[in-house]
Amino acid sequence: MEKGFDIAASGLLDGLDGEARRDRAELIVWLLDRDFSADQIRASVAPFLLPADRVLGDDGQYVSARQICESTGVDVEVLQRLHGEIGLPRFDDPDAPVLLRADAQAAARAKFFIDMGVDLEETIAVMRGLVESLRHVAAMMRETALKTLLRPGGTELELAQATEELARKTVPQFGPMMDDLLRLVFRRSMEVEAITAAERAAGTLPGARQVTVAFADLAGFTQLGESLPPEELHHLANRLVELARDAAIPPVRFIKSIGDAVMFVSPDPVPLIGAALALIAAAEARGLPPLRFGIASGGAVSRSGDWFGSPVNVASRVTAEARPGTVLVGESAHNEAGDTPGFHWSSVGTRRLKGVSGDVKLFRVQRAFADGI
């Protein structure tokens, strides 16, 4: 710390009293001794995280977009777009040193895709998807870390020291772990989305294909939010995702979770219907609120790991019509699977679904047993 530096006169303790003021003063002395400037501390919304942030790449070095572009070969306009897509501030003056070096270099790494001949828009889509996924991962890791480190009566200095040590231990593992997991997921994605002979001949990605889509949600979840603490609601949603992944046996694929809902896709409606019935039974056995399923078939297209098309919209709307603990199937999926042994079907009439043109015939499906339902 600079000799003669007056912490009280610096304004770094403004608005703090008593124990909070003493804690912050102790932290500031420690940070200054570790070569953090008063300006860095003043600008930080959480000064105790400064040491961990330094380990995570915030070295306080700012550069201009021009410098990054000259060192990486990426165009200024491309870097500008990439910055916006991954959530970094927009820069108006390419010669102003306003970009954190580590962040700007991370954005510029996308040039790898461009050099491979990948279209700029596709490159941006990949970066956007990557950052969105990692944002969720980072949020969960933050919560897990703080739950581990926080303790009653802990000071800011103790928390700063603990988060820095945790970052030092974990950061070296990030690269290998992400590399292994990305290889695993990418390999499975390539295997599942196998390229057909027709697609090879056309030399393009497949367009819309015939699939069956299912959504399931926890009945009464909104009402539960009025009586259960948020932590318990989060636990219920996580339990649903765990059970959904277990139920997604190929060719059924678990696609995503959306709050209290999960989405599946299958090229064949029969195994998807079976998975839906199995998941309803599993949720009941585990004490979860009853599930309701909506299923529809039709042409849909897969892009960036998600699905788009009529059956996605119809299945979502059908779910809202299902009673708790039941599987409701649109006419399209029923016509494909209706003659399959082991299912018992009952018509529930037609419905006018929001956003869907025309009436949709709906059927309830249950397991059929030798001695009846």
Per-residue pLDDT in tens (0 to 9) along the chain, 373 residues: 566 688 888 889 998 999 999 999 999 999 999 989 898 899 888 899 999 989 988 877 888 989 988 988 888 888 888 888 777 777 889 999 888 888 888 888 888 888 888 888 888 888 888 887 888 788 878 888 878 887 888 899 999 999 899 889 888 888 898 888 888 877 776 655 555 555 555 555 556 788 999 999 988 776 776 777 777 887 888 889 999 999 999 889 999 988 889 999 999 999 999 999 999 999 999 988 899 999 999 999 887 778 899 999 999 999 999 999 999 999 999 998 877 888 999 999 988 888 787 888 999 999 886 545 5
User: What was the pLDDT predicted at 339?
Assistant: 79
User: What was the pLDDT predicted at 324?
Assistant: 93
CB 280 within 8 A of CB 293: yes
Does this model's pTM top 0.85? My answer is: no
CB 255 within 8 A of CB 305: yes
How many angstroms separate the CA atoms of 169 and 145, rounded? 12
Selection from 20, 76, 11 nearest residue 41 by Cα: 11
User: What was the pLDDT predicted at 232?
Assistant: 80
Q: Which CATH architecture has domain 206-367?
A: 2-Layer Sandwich (3.30)
- Read off φ and ψ for residue 312, nearest 5 degrees: -65, -45
How many angstroms separate the CA atoms of 73 and 68, rounded? 8
User: What was the pLDDT predicted at 181?
Assistant: 84
For the record, the structure tokens of 280 come out as: 């309803």
334 residue type, one letter:
H
Parts of the chain belonging to CATH 3.30.70.1230: 206-367
User: What was the pLDDT predicted at 294?
Assistant: 96
Q: 10 Å Cβ neighbour count for 173?
A: 9
How many angstroms separate the CA atoms of 113 and 127, rounded? 10
Report DSSP state, residue 360.
Answer: E
* Beta strands 209-218 and 261-266, pairing class: antiparallel
How many angstroms separate the CA atoms of 292 and 277, rounded? 10
User: What was the pLDDT predicted at 353?
Assistant: 85
